[in-house]
Amino acid sequence: MISAGDFRNGITIELEGNVYQIIEFQHVKPGKGAAFVRTKLKNIKSGGVVEKTFRPTEKCPQARIDRKEMQYLYEDGDLYYFMDTENFEQTMLNSEEIGDSMKFVKENEMVKMCSHNGSVFAVEPPLFVELEITDTEPGFKGDTATGATKPATVETGATVYVPLFVNQGDKIKIDTRTGEYLSRV
């Protein structure tokens, strides 16, 4: 059990039969009346965000989230296959359970499977990936000063906005949390 006075960003709690992650919290001490904790909670299964206030002495059970490193094998239609590298068991998830998290992940890369009570609710890709550009407009000499960008398709099929000097065939580094170009490799 964790009291509302001990809330921190990133902590997961069980509330009303759902599992929530604390996105924001704020301890409020009004001039008149009792103190309270104002929070923004994200439902980890549906992704919905709710705002809720707690008294600082209220207690909630803390949810245990398991993260396991698995290897992404391949995609077959709507199904994605993963393998546990310790015991070689395979797990498959459909595209609804995965969402957008796999758009920068190549086959045979390691990802983290997040689960609560044995049911997988999210797949976390690596923070940074290096991918090759398969299609973009050609860059020209001197296209470095303006800071303008152009769309480019990477080898996984995702579209990333890159600087004008980046060409087809270049390898680039991408931040998977934001989908932004970081640098050429």
Q: What pLDDT is attached to residue 51?
A: 92
Q: What is the pLDDT of residues 142-170, one digit of tens each?
A: 656 667 788 889 888 888 888 888 888 88
Q: What pLDDT is attached to residue 145?
A: 61
Q: Within a 10 A sphere around the Cβ of 16, how many other Cβ atoms? A: 8
Say if residue 34 is exposed, middle or buried (CB neighbours under 10 Å; 0-12, 13-18, 19+): exposed
CA 80 from centroid of its chain's CA atoms: 17
The pTM of the full predicted model, rounded to 2 decimals, is 0.68
Query: Does the structure show a pLDDT above 80 at 181?
Result: yes
Angstrom CA distances, 179 to 23, 44, 117, stand at 20, 21, 30
Q: What pLDDT is attached to residue 144?
A: 62
Q: What pLDDT is attached to residue 40?
A: 92
Q: What pLDDT is attached to residue 57?
A: 87
Q: What is the pLDDT of residues 23-65, one digit of tens each?
A: 899 998 888 888 899 999 988 877 788 999 998 888 989 888 8
For 156, the token pair is 């996984």
Q: What pLDDT is attached to residue 157?
A: 85
Q: What pLDDT is attached to residue 115?
A: 83
Q: What is the pLDDT of residues 74-130, one digit of tens each?
A: 888 888 889 988 888 888 888 877 777 888 888 888 998 888 887 787 788 888 888
Q: Where are the alpha helices (DSSP H) in the chain?
A: 95-98
Structure-token match 């546990």, residue found: 84
Domains of the chain, CATH where assigned: 2-60 (2.30.30.30), 66-124 (2.40.50.140), 128-184 (2.40.50.140)
